[in-house]
Amino acid sequence: MTLPDTSAACAICAPDEPGADPRPLSGLAPAVAALVRADHPDLAPDAPLCRRHRALYRGRHLGELLAAERGALTALDRDVLDSIASEATLAVPPAAPDAPRSLGERAADQVASFGGTWAFLGLFLVVLVVWMAANSAFLLGRGAFDPYPFIFLNLILSCVAAMQAPIIMMSQRRAETRDRATAENDYKINLKAELEIRALHDKLDRQILHQWERLSAIQTLLIAALETDRRQDGAA
């Protein structure tokens, strides 16, 4: 087995510059090699290609396969293909809990986090009970500042609900934005993994076919050698 010459120059890059991990054109997948020959028809089968150009043409090939299956490509699909062509990672680290937030964002998160707890419900129930008990005729009589049917209490509750709902919606919208970004990142990672696995399966299939061809050639040579030895033994 002949090892590739790591000092060889890429046939597409500058000829006087050594290529990065050069590999011969014949070692690429047939579809990828066809794309290379379409752009550079004068390349020889053993022409070395650097890692950057191999990844670039492999990304183009996967893009054509994806476009043939789905039609028009989305922006997320193009991001995945660009990452394959540039050999860049797509995984994005999760945002830190103490990421910079504005005062309004911090207030919205605090209100939303506290408004959905049993502590808030219990405190709110205590306030309602105390308010209604303090304004009942049994304790203060005619001196109640908000007698039954507690119109002022209803006004306060309406104001609290009117203010709390938009604040909670702002916090939920920020959470939805984070979830959407996470879902898009997961989609891109899954799509890239699917394309890479498909390319890996194609590579394994080519390797198996190549091994079978070599074994068949060796078997043919062995059979020919055995027949030659048999004829020689018969002649002797």
Query: Could you report the per-residue pLDDT of 167-177, keeping only the tens digit for each?
Result: 888 888 888 88
Cis peptide before 149 (omega within 30 of 0): yes
What region, left, alpha or beta, does residue 84 occupy, with left being phi > 0 and alpha being psi -120 to 50 degrees? alpha
Of the CA atoms within 13 Å of residue 107, those in its CB half-sphere come to 7
**Bigger pLDDT: 143 vs 79:** 79
Tell me the mean pLDDT in the region 198-224. 82
Q: What pLDDT, in 10s, does the model give residues 82-121? A: 888 877 777 766 655 556 777 777 788 888 888 778 888 8
**Bigger pLDDT: 71 vs 122:** 122
Helices (H), ranges, 71-102: 75-86
pLDDT recorded at residue 147? 78
* Bridge partners (DSSP) listed for residue 18: 9
**Coil/strand/helix, residue 142:** helix
The answer to whether 7 touches 46, Cβ cutoff 8 Å, is no
With tokens 């193009």, the residue in question is 78
> Rounded mean pLDDT of the chain?
79
